Chains A and B, each alone.
Chain A
Amino acid sequence: MPMLNVSGLSKRFGALRAVNEVSFAVSEGEILGLIGPNGSGKTTTLKAALGLVPFDGELKVLGLDPRTQRDELMQQVCFIADVAVLPRWIRVCEVVDFVAGVHPKFDKAKCERYIAHTKLSPRMKVKEMSKGMIVQLHLAIVMAIDAKLLVLDEPTLGLDILYRKQFYQNLLEDYFDEEKTIIITTHQVEEVEHILSDLMFIRDGKIVLSATMDEVGERFTEVMVPSEKVESAKSLKPIDERQVFGKSVLLFDGVPRAQLAGLGETRNVGIADLFVATMKGTYA
């Protein structure tokens, strides 16, 4: 059974189509990166899946409809929908006790173990913490919940690089296994690309790319072409071109690597470069 099955999902805000007839599926064990510019509809898509907004079309999470079966769904699904949304008045011990009280799949001892690895103390209030510490606490809670699906919407926005690295490292080392599924949206593409198994680009409410990371590696090739070969390289229709130290770096989609090798040095494209190439003209 797919974790998430979306077909013909649409969401309008007045005249604006935030999400426009989107279809995709996510299966167990994937770490999917949902990447898109601001206002592209990725947060709305996730909110629809979490039963936070009404929508049109078909959407099933673990076979449940988030519009009508949200309460059951939340037993299986966990999410961090924004940075530092823990209530400011609560203490570490209170929030842990509370979640232990209401969540049947929460492992309190595990959570306390994660917290012990941080500078958080049980009597500390959220309003006394830095943004990074709040995220540490939130992550400790979320990782102690044995949910099948974890949705992270910009979980590290505004954190410094130490907290960001640690966040993804903890997630990968202490939380993820083949029975779990994670969906992440973020603008810090470079930091998640090595942990993703699947990638999806979304633009203006439509999916413009959906592939596994292996497929991305096979399909896209970046070639550093010396100036004398640029003309012949351009005949192969690169999807992007930029200049680095007087050389042209061309990005090809679907051209066999053997064919490109003759033009210059080939390498796998970074997600960030691929993203920029794909989204060209978004804000124009």
Chain B
Amino acid sequence: MNTMKWLVKREFWEHKGGFFWAPVCVGAIMTFFLAATLFVGVAMGSKHGIHINGNVVTDLNGFMSAKDKAEFASGLATGYMGMASPMFLVLGFVVFFFCLGSLFDERKDRSVLFWKSLPVSDSATVLSKLAMALAVAPLITVVVATITAVVSMLLICIAAATMGLNICGQVLTSPSAYIAPFQVAAILPVYVLWALPTVGWLMMVSAWARTKPFLWAVGVPVLAGALLSWFNAMFDFNLNMSWFWRNIIGRGLLSVAPGSWFGLTDVANGLHANENGADFGSILAQSWQVLATANLWIGVAVGAAMIYAAIRLRRWKDEG
């Protein structure tokens, strides 16, 4: 267990840029632009007034009904985590390229000869990289995303208050504001299982490819899909190509994107936002429904098999 701790630490040292600084920078930039937009909006609003339904208003307090105000407040309280969603997109990219390089880079710079001189098994090494990609990295992103979203929410509250719309109290006393980060974190187990086939595929290619892992990992499946589609169209094979693209290529390459299960499965009801914007309670519930699909579990089995293959490859591949 101690070895595992050090292995994960090692991955973090090596990939601090992607796993820590990338979300921090994206969060900082998003917060900055929101703050700037709000500042300009507030400054312009107080100077010239805002045009709402043809009326010029400088004080929102009298203009908004109590019901509208409550709806706005609860929308902000339940949906503010959605403001951090670009960071999860970034996470998808970071995890993708981390996995692709995870077992290739060490062979390329020959440092694998150093790592292998230590009493650390190949399975421990590969599993530590898996843990980094699917547990530590998403957790860091959830934490940074939460901080970004909370700061953004507070900025909006302050901006609204300067416009005469005091919703701070309503937002901050709303239980959903406090539950939202945990609801996002609670999606994590679904992400771990869902992303396994893509992570497994990328790590396997990373352990196997002598050069250009990206070309092998992405080029080969896409080319295979394109050829198959072409044959299918030319010779009337009657294959269900959209099934193939979705379930083989899509699952193999895109599952690292958080939330991609909404696009790649037919979860009951599908993804829908209620009138208050994204409600993380329902996103969470729908995400967990993916666990009831065969799609997810077949992916887990295939992903686990490919992780095993990656361990074997790391054990026996001779670097000459």
User: Chain A interface (Cβ within 8 Å of chain B)?
Assistant: 47, 50, 52-54, 70-71, 74-75, 78-82, 85-91, 94, 97-99, 101-104, 138, 142
User: Chain B interface (Cβ within 8 Å of chain A)?
Assistant: 2-3, 5-7, 9-10, 13-14, 106, 109-114, 116-121, 315-316, 318
User: Within the assembled complex, what's the spacing in Å between the Cα atoms of A78 and B5?
Assistant: 22
B118 touches A103 (CB 8 A): yes
B109 touches A87 (CB 8 A): yes
User: Within the assembled complex, what's the spacing in Å between the Cα atoms of A142 and B117?
Assistant: 10
Residues of A within 8 A of B106 (CB): 87
Minimum CB–CB distance from B99 to chain A (whole Å) comes to 18
Q: Looking across the interface, which residue of chain A has its beta carbon closest to that of B10?
A: A98
A101 touches B3 (CB 8 A): yes
The binding surface of chain A is classed by DSSP as mixed
With beta carbons under 8 angstroms apart, the residue of A82, A87, A88, A104 that contacts B119 is A104
Minimum CB–CB distance from B122 to chain A (whole Å) comes to 9
User: Within the assembled complex, what's the spacing in Å between the Cα atoms of A52 and B121?
Assistant: 12
B117 touches A81 (CB 8 A): yes
Residues of B within 8 A of A98 (CB): 6, 9-10
With beta carbons under 8 angstroms apart, the residue of B2, B5, B9, B114 that contacts A138 is B114
A87 touches B316 (CB 8 A): no
A52 touches B318 (CB 8 A): yes
Q: Looking across the interface, which residue of chain B has its beta carbon closest to that of A76?
A: B119
User: Within the assembled complex, what's the spacing in Å between the Cα atoms of A64 and B14?
Assistant: 33
Given contacts A85-B113, A88-B109, contact A99 B121 (CB under 8 A): no
A71 touches B111 (CB 8 A): no
Q: Looking across the interface, which residue of chain B has its beta carbon closest to that of A91?
A: B13
Residues of B within 8 A of A99 (CB): 118
Residue among B10, B106, B113, B114 with the most chain A CB within 10 A?
A: B114
Q: Looking across the interface, which residue of chain B has its beta carbon closest to that of A106?
A: B118
Residues of A within 8 A of B118 (CB): 74, 99, 102-103
Given contacts A71-B119, A74-B117, A81-B113, contact A101 B14 (CB under 8 A): no
Q: Looking across the interface, which residue of chain A has its beta carbon closest to that of B123?
A: A71
Minimum CB–CB distance from B251 to chain A (whole Å) comes to 32
A102 touches B6 (CB 8 A): yes
Residues of B within 8 A of A79 (CB): 117
User: Within the assembled complex, what's the spacing in Å between the Cα atoms of A101 and B316?
Assistant: 25
Given contacts A47-B318, A71-B119, A80-B117, contact A85 B5 (CB under 8 A): no
Residue among A52, A75, A82, A97 with the most chain B CB within 10 A?
A: A52
B116 touches A52 (CB 8 A): yes
With beta carbons under 8 angstroms apart, the residue of A52, A75, A85 that contacts B114 is A85
Residues of A within 8 A of B10 (CB): 94, 98
With beta carbons under 8 angstroms apart, the residue of A52, A53, A85, A102 that contacts B3 is A102
Residues of B within 8 A of A138 (CB): 114
User: Within the assembled complex, what's the spacing in Å between the Cα atoms of A89 and B121?
Assistant: 22
A-B contact pairs, 25 of them (CB 8 A): A50-B117, A52-B116, A52-B318, A53-B316, A53-B318, A54-B316, A70-B121, A71-B121, A74-B119, A74-B120, A75-B119, A80-B117, A85-B109, A85-B110, A85-B112, A85-B113, A86-B114, A87-B14, A89-B14, A90-B13, A90-B14, A91-B13, A94-B10, A101-B2, A138-B114
Residues of B within 8 A of A91 (CB): 13
Other contacts beyond A71-B119, A79-B117, A85-B114: 14, CB < 8 A: A52-B318, A74-B116, A74-B120, A81-B117, A85-B109, A85-B112, A87-B106, A87-B114, A88-B111, A94-B10, A101-B5, A102-B2, A103-B119, A138-B114
